Amino acid sequence: MEKKLEIFSHFEECPVRKVLNRCGDKWSVLILLVLGEVDNMRFNKLHKTIGDISQKMLTVTLRTLEADGLIKRTVFPEIPPRVEYEITERGKSLLVHINKLVDWAEENMEDIMESRAKFES
């Protein structure tokens, strides 16, 4: 067990942290969830679907997800341009676990909200 603790602590450059930190940002998980529900989706459709994300953060987050090989970006050389995003196999394998987390959150959010309310008082 001491061994296992060492994995996560004292190593600021811990690779597990490097990977998981990307899931901790504001939009990555949400985008993966959306792209997990469809075959592919264009930039503007993503923008409208998520609703409250800025164009800039949509672009930035899509780029980092692409860099990690979690989504694939396809540019069609047309005018006007068309860009489609789709989740990769690697992304799907991650999404499985993310969906478990979402399910857990749905199951427990009432209790959690109640705990938070009590904790205030």
Partner DNA sequence: CGGCATCCCTGCCGATACTG
Partner DNA sequence: CAGTATCGGCAGGGATGCCG
Give residues in contact with DNA (CB under 7 A): 25-27, 42-45, 52-57, 59, 62-63, 73, 80-84
- Residue 29 binds its own copies, judged by CB under 8 A: yes
The two structure tokens encoding residue 92 = 């799907």
In the complex with DNA, the residue whose CB is nearer, 36 or 50, is 50
Give the burial class of 91: count Cβ atoms within 10 A of its Cβ; 0-12 exposed, 13-18 middle, 19 or more buried.
buried
We find the least distance from the C-beta atom of residue 53 to DNA, in angstroms, to be 6
- Residue 90 binds its own copies, judged by CB under 8 A: yes
User: Mapping DSSP to helix (H, G, I), strand (E, B) and coil, where does residue 35 land?
Assistant: helix
Evaluate the CA torsion angle 10, 100, 62, 65 in order and state its sign: positive
We find the least distance from the C-beta atom of residue 78 to DNA, in angstroms, to be 9
- With CB under 5 to 8 Å by kind, the binding choice for 89 among DNA, its own copies, none is none
In the complex with its own copies, the residue whose CB is nearer, 2 or 78, is 2
Q: Are 71 and 88 in contact (CB under 8 A)?
A: yes
Evaluate the CA torsion angle 45, 50, 25, 93 in order and state its sign: negative
In the complex with its own copies, the residue whose CB is nearer, 79 or 96, is 96
